[in-house]
Structure formats: C-alpha cells, structure tokens
Amino acid sequence: MLKGRHLIDIMDFSTEELDEILGLANEIISDEEKFSQVCRGKLLATLFYEPSTRTRLSFESAMMRLGGKVIGFSDAGSSSVSKGESIVDTIRVISCYADIAAMRHPKEGAPKIASMYSSIPVINAGDGGHQHPTQTLADLLTIKSMKGTMSNLKIGCCGDLKFGRTVHSLIKAMSRYENNNFTLISPRELKIPDYVKKELDNKNIEYIETSSLEAAIGSLDVLYMTRVQKERFFNEEDYVRLRDSYILDKEKMTGAKDNMIVLHPLPRVNEISHEIDQDPRACYFKQVKYGMYVRMALIMELLGIK
C-alpha cells in the first residue's frame, strides 16, 4: 500500500511497488480520459526552494490532468522562507492546506526532514546533489517502454556523476533489477561519489569507470547523458574547464548499437548536439512525457486513489 507514504529515496519503495506505479502510468497512457477527474477536490503543493521549470511544471500538469489543483512557490524568496521560517514550520502549515506536497531544496536531506513533520505525503523533487527519485521513475518508465525490460542492460552514465543527483537515484534503482551493469563515464574530477560505488560493491554489481565516451559507447544499451551541474561548483574556472567534457554528436553515435537509447533528464546545455534530436535512438523528449504520466500515477498512489 502506497497510500499516505512519502517518496524521499527511490529505495523507499520495493520493486513491486515501483512496478505498480509504472503499471498505473501505462494504464493512464492508454486511456487518459478515464483519469481526468480522479483527483477532483485534491490539492498539490509545490514547494520549490531551488530553480526548476521542468520538474515543477511536470508535477503541476500531472495534478491538473487528474482534475486536481495546485498551490505553491517556485522561488523561496517569495515565500515566508525569506522571513526565516523553517522547513518544519512550512510543512506543518502546508499540511493544513494541501493533500500532498512536492519539495525541491538545495540542501541534501531537506525533504526528508519535512516528511518527518508532515501529515501529508511528501515527494522529494530533488535535494541538492543527492537524489531525484521522481526523475528516476520517469527514467524507469522510459527504459521499460523503449527496451521492453529493465534487466540485462548495460547502462552508461556520462557527464557530471559527482553532483548529478539523477544518476545517483538511477543507479540505485537499476541495480535492483537482474543482471544490469554500469559504465561510469566522467572526467576524473566528476567521478561518482564513493557512497554510490560502495552500494554497488555491496551488491556485487559490475561497473567500470572510464573517461572515454568513444571507447565505451559501442557496448551500451542505454546512454544516460547529464549536464555539468554549474550551480554546485565552488569556482567558475573549474566549471568552464569541465563543462564541455562530453558532447554527443553524430560521429560518436555511429559507434553505438542501433537499438541503444539516449536519455537525458534535461535541461541540456552542450552535452548532446542538436543534430542527434532526429536520431530515432534519442529518447529524451519522450522521457519528459513519460515523466508527467509517471507523476500522475505516483500522486494517485500516494493519495490512495484507485
């Protein structure tokens, strides 16, 4: 039962529960009209302490497509936070108004703290460089739809693996399905954090670390590209030096399998050349659409609406 639960970390849900959400998302996709009023009278609060268009609008459109309504803020400066209100007080107040809340925060762990004091379900919509479980739900639904399976895949993650929270959540999630392995492609300075590697080691999951996209691309089933996370750098110089470490272009794609898929959580900066957008293997805009449907399913499940 997912009713009343929080989603802070993708591991909060069992694989059966994840399957249930993905299954409901597919049902919604096949008959959207049937679900267009199921959240009538329900309110979603979007508490965004960090800039976001995509994720916030994805949550908002998800709730509205279910017939529900949305309140919230997209900039902490325009809320009581600027008066010094704590997250704990904010969530206690919001719990009185809304039925469910999605929170994005620059500090790792902030949505977790909020969930401890909340009487409504709290969804982590991204906490600092830590986790981004609803992006992972979007990624899982895209992989399942495009590859027909979430097992036996060679998954390449490329770019900023240090600060990229989407990759941290994705690796955790995909390592629960059978026989997946990972190729972690990054410059030395942006390698995956040790805590993620430790989890892979503990589960005996195979992975390699490399700095060469060209050398790795030919063996991959899924290539997950990421943006270098400018806002988490301590100095501009390092960012400028590293931002164009990887640019996926037509030439590199000639080395990839015909059925490899390219994913990206977006926003894209330079890491995927626009000439790839027409390539049938480019799935990042489909991923956006799947992201909205899977958030619809998640909202329904946490509210206990069937």
- Which spans of this chain sit near ligand NCD (rule: CB under 6 A)? 54-55, 126, 132, 135, 165-166, 227, 265-266
- Of 7 and 38, the one with the shorter C-beta distance to ligand NCD is 7
Q: Does the annotation flag 281 for ligand binding?
A: no
State the minimum distance, in angstroms, from the CB of residue 108 to ligand NCD: 12
State the minimum distance, in angstroms, from the CB of residue 31 to ligand NCD: 27
Q: Residue 31's CB: how many other CB atoms inside 10 A?
A: 9
| Residue 13, C-beta contacts closer than 8 angstroms, at least 6 positions apart | 2, 5, 7, 21
Q: Does the annotation flag 51 for ligand binding?
A: no
Beta strands in 24-84 (DSSP E): 43-48, 69-73
State the minimum distance, in angstroms, from the CB of residue 30 to ligand NCD: 25
Give the separation between CA 6 and CA 124, rounded to whole angstroms. 8
State the minimum distance, in angstroms, from the CB of residue 89 to ligand NCD: 25
Q: Does the annotation flag 223 for ligand binding?
A: no
Q: Does the annotation flag 227 for ligand binding?
A: yes
- Of 54 and 107, the one with the shorter C-beta distance to ligand NCD is 54
- Of 65 and 104, the one with the shorter C-beta distance to ligand NCD is 104
Burial per residue of 194-214, b for 16 or more beta-carbon CB atoms within 10 angstroms, e otherwise? eebbeebeeeebebeeeeebe
- Of 132 and 172, the one with the shorter C-beta distance to ligand NCD is 132
Q: Does the annotation flag 254 for ligand binding?
A: no
State the minimum distance, in angstroms, from the CB of residue 166 to ligand NCD: 5
With tokens 């929270």, the residue in question is: 165
Q: Does the annotation flag 243 for ligand binding?
A: no
Smallest Cα–Cα separation from 246: which of 226, 229, 230? Answer: 226
Q: Yes or no: say if 26 and 187 are a contact pair by the CB < 8 Å rule.
A: no
- Of 135 and 180, the one with the shorter C-beta distance to ligand NCD is 135
State the minimum distance, in angstroms, from the CB of residue 46 to ligand NCD: 13
Cα separation values, 187 from 20, 47, 212, 231, 239, Å: 37, 34, 9, 18, 12
- Of 38 and 137, the one with the shorter C-beta distance to ligand NCD is 137
Let me know how long the chain is.
306
Give the separation between CA 125 and CA 132, rounded to whole angstroms. 6
Give the separation between CA 181 and CA 174, rounded to whole angstroms. 9
Q: Does the annotation flag 142 for ligand binding?
A: no
Q: Which residues are annotated as a binding site?
A: 54-55, 83, 104, 132, 135, 165, 227, 266-267
Q: Which residues are annotated as a binding site for L-aspartate?
A: 83, 165, 227
Q: Which residues are annotated as a binding site for carbamoyl phosphate?
A: 54-55, 104, 132, 135, 266-267
